[in-house]
Amino acid sequence: MKIIALQVSFLVFLSTLSFTSAASCPMDLNYVTRIPWNSSVCRDFHPLNSTPKAEISKQNCCVALLSVFGIGLAEHLKETTLFQLPDLPTSNTCLRDFQAKLDSLSLPNNVASLCFDPMQFVITPDLCANIQTTRDWVAKLGESTALDQGCRADLSDLTACDTCLRAGTEVHSRLVSIDGNSSHGTDCFDFIVLYAAGIVNEFGPEKEQGSRPRLRPNTGSIWFKLHDLEKATDNFSKKNFIGRGGFGFVFKGVLPDGTVVAVKRILESEFQGDEEFCNEVEIISNLKHRNLVPLRGCCMIDDDEIGINDHEKGRKNIILDVAKGLAYLHYGVKPAIYHRDIKATNILLDADMRARVSDFGLAKQSREGQSHLTTRVAGTHGYLAPEYALYGQLTEKSDVYSFGVVVLEIMCGRKALDLSSSSSPRAF
């Protein structure tokens, strides 16, 4: 895991600037594309075909999707104490967002609506024993049930899984008998799964935090210890979460001296090894400009991830700020620096709504006397200049091209690559 702490007063990300929605989904569905799950059961699913075989393949797909969606519901239960979503508009929005994630896994653009009725995720008293919240649960079943002992452990261990399953069966028959209506059995079963995953299991629904990352000795004054950043961000707690993007997660943090920082946890895969990361850190740490996010320090340990969010603001100023930041990189420092990954998710807005270029993960320093660099092509689809993408020719113009795409995005309110289901099939 590589972490960068950027000194800022407050940050939002430009990436979702132009996208607003009425009812927002309280579930963070980014795990859908992050966790490993076998989506191939839904890939060759032909809904129009109503043969028995197609019916079975639909069922298999829907069961898989329910499990995946359930991870989000369990997380939601943990955060809000509600067993389902609060109302129908919220459920509709969540299912639409869920489908957008499935789109990006190349699944058919209507699987979520074919598998689910939005009403099935809305909380009502007549689902299972009048339970709507974890408080209702405790009132009906007591502080501790068989689940609390049986489902704590890591369930990838088959014996532990079996123990949890048996505990579930026991609690299920209690719930059904409290309810008295045997047709509520399925809902009660779902509640038990959500409770076991969201409340009881110590690894949580996503089971991400298996082992602690190993600390590697850091050198130099700008290097933080992981512990410092855990302290600054309250152990990367949810309340400090700013957002998520292609590169990982961003958290707000406060250093012991009171400085507010954005702490970015970076996906390992974005760097070709530690040497490259250290090199980029050296580059950024020497830069100072009001339209660049200043680096406060970094931390490197083995393993993991970063992030992103939204706001509204004078588009012209944002564009100008980004242009000034780029002009500084290209003409204000020697040798010039090519950012190589200018895109909406790499532009941050501070408390004064000034835009700052961030994420120098792919930055390259030009060598004196060379008109252009030929390097391994890196960057983001949709933003790459053609001559760079095709021939690896890197000049400051490559950044200008990407900047142009960002300008178009800001002006049109659309993403460079639109893979969502709302537009015509597979529209780019």
Ligand X SMILES: *[C@@H]1O[C@H](CO)[C@@H](O)[C@H](O)[C@H]1NC(C)=O
Residue ranges for the known binding site for ATP are 264
User: Can you name the residues that pair with 265 across neighbouring β-strands?
Assistant: 3
Applying CB under 6 A, among 106, 181, 286, 423 the residue interacting with ligand X is: 181
Considering only residues 291 to 350 of the shown chain, the ones binding ligand X according to CB under 6 A are none
Q: Which long-range contacts (CB under 8 A, 24 or more apart) does 131-140 make?
A: 131/83, 131/175, 131/191, 132/82, 132/83, 132/84, 133/81, 133/82, 133/83, 134/77, 134/81, 134/83, 134/195, 134/199, 135/81, 137/83, 137/191, 137/195, 140/175, 140/178
What number of chain residues touch ligand X (CB under 6 A)? 10
First to last CA, the chain: 33
- 256 contacts: CB under 8 Å, gap ≥ 6: 228, 231, 232
Q: Taking a C-beta distance cutoff of 8 angstroms, is the pair 294, 6 a contact? A: yes
Contact between 59 and ligand X by CB under 6 A: the answer reads no
Candidate list 5, 8, 32, 41; residue touching ligand X; CB under 6 A: 41
How many residues can be counted in the chain? Answer: 428
- Minimum distance between the CB of residue 311 and ligand X, rounded to whole angstroms? 29
Torsion of CA 339, 345, 351, 352, to 10 degrees: 60
Residues 6+ apart with CB under 8 A from 63: none
What lies within 8 Å, CB to CB, of 53 at 6+ separation is: none
Contact track, ligand X, 378-417, x by CB under 6 A = ----------------------------------------
Output 57 or 358, the one with its CB closest to ligand X.
Answer: 57
Stretch that binds ligand X, among 37-45, 215-223, 288-296, 322-330 (CB under 6 A): 37-45
**Of 34, 140, 174, 184, which lies in the binding site for ligand X, with binding defined by CB under 6 A?**
184
Nearer to ligand X, 183 or 371 (CB): 183
Cβ nearer to ligand X, comparing 258 with 369: 258
164 vs 5, 27, 150, 211, 361, CA distance in Å?
Answer: 41, 25, 5, 22, 43
Q: Which residue reads 């564009």 in tokens? A: 319
Q: Is 206 in the site for ligand X (CB under 6 A)?
A: no
- Quick check: 211 binds ligand X (CB under 6 A)? no
352 in active site: no
For residue 93, the minimal CB distance to ligand X (Å) is 25
Return the number of the residue (184 or 397) whose C-beta is nearest ligand X: 184
| Cα(363)–Cα(356) distance, integer angstroms | 15
- Looking at beta carbons only, is 41 or 62 nearer to ligand X? 41
Q: Cα angle vertex 340, ends 339, 342, to 5°?
A: 80
Decide if residue 140 touches ligand X (CB under 6 A): no
Name the active-site residue from 341, 350, 399, 418: 341
Helix (H) or strand (E) holding 5: strand 2-7
Contact range with ligand X by CB under 6 A, out of 7-15, 38-46, 48-56, 343-351:
38-46
Quick one: which of 110, 144, 156, 235 contacts ligand X (CB under 6 A)? 235
Sorted by sequence, the CB contacts under 8 Å of residue 259 that are 6+ apart come out as 7, 296
Q: Which of 28, 148, 230, 268 binds ligand X (CB under 6 A)?
A: 230
Residues belonging to the binding site are: 264
Q: Which of 55, 79, 117, 126 binds ligand X (CB under 6 A)?
A: 126
Do 42 and 54 contact (CB within 8 A), yes or no? no
β-pair partners for 252? 262
- 112 in contact with ligand X (CB under 6 A): no
Smallest distance from the beta carbon of 263 to ligand X, in angstroms?
Answer: 13
With CB under 6 A as the contact rule, the residue among 38, 221, 269, 371 that binds ligand X is 38
Closest approach, Cβ 419 to ligand X, in A, equals: 22
Nearest distance from C-beta of residue 92 to ligand X, angstroms:
21
State in angstroms the smallest separation of the CB of 25 from ligand X. 25
CA-to-CA dists, residue 353 to 309, 317, 348, angstroms: 14, 9, 9
- Residue 164: CB minimum distance to ligand X, A: 22
Whole-angstrom CA distances from 207 to 29, 94, 152, 155, 235 are: 15, 22, 12, 9, 16
Q: Which parts of this chain interact with ligand X (CB under 6 A)?
A: 38, 40-41, 126, 181, 183-184, 230-231, 235
Residues known to be catalytic:
341
